[in-house]
Amino acid sequence: MKNIAVAGTGYVGLVTGTCFANLGNKITCIDISEEKIAMLKRGETPIYEPGLSELIQRNVKAGRLHFTTSYDEALADADFVFICVGTPSGVDGEADLRYVRMAAETIAEKMDHPLIVVNKSTVPVGTGDWVADIISRKQPTPIDFAVVSCPEFLKEGSAIADFMAADRVVLGSLNADAAEKVARLHLPLRAPILVTDLRTAEMIKYASNAFLATRISFINEIATICEKLGADVSEVAAGMGYDKRIGPHFLNAGLGYGGSCFPKDVKALEHMALVQGSHPSLLRAVMEINRDARRWAVITLRNLLGGKLEDKRIGLLGLAFKPNTDDLREAPAMEIGHLLQNEGAQVSGYDPVAMVHAGKMNPRLRLAEDPYELAQGVDALLVVTEWDEFKHLDMRRIKEGMAQPILVDGRNIYDPEQMAALGFTYRAVGRGNGANGYNE
- What is the 8-class DSSP label of residue 359? H
Say whether 396 sits in a helix, a strand or coil.
helix
Is residue 261 annotated as a catalytic residue, yes or no? yes
- Which neighbouring-strand residues pair with 30? 7, 68
312 and 379 Cβ atoms separated by less than 8 Å: yes
How is the beta sheet containing 3-7 ordered, strand by strand? 65-68, 26-30, 3-7, 80-83, 115-119, 145-149, 169-173, 193-196
End-to-end CA distance of the chain: 63
Rounded CA separation 132/139 (Å): 11
C-alpha separations of 390 from 34, 274, 321, 401, 411 in Å? 37, 42, 15, 16, 11
Q: Per DSSP, which regions of 61-133 are E strands?
A: 65-68, 80-83, 115-119
Catalytic-role residue among 19, 29, 226, 261 = 261
Rounded CA separation 417/229 (Å): 19
Rounded CA separation 79/141 (Å): 19
List the catalytic residues.
Answer: 261
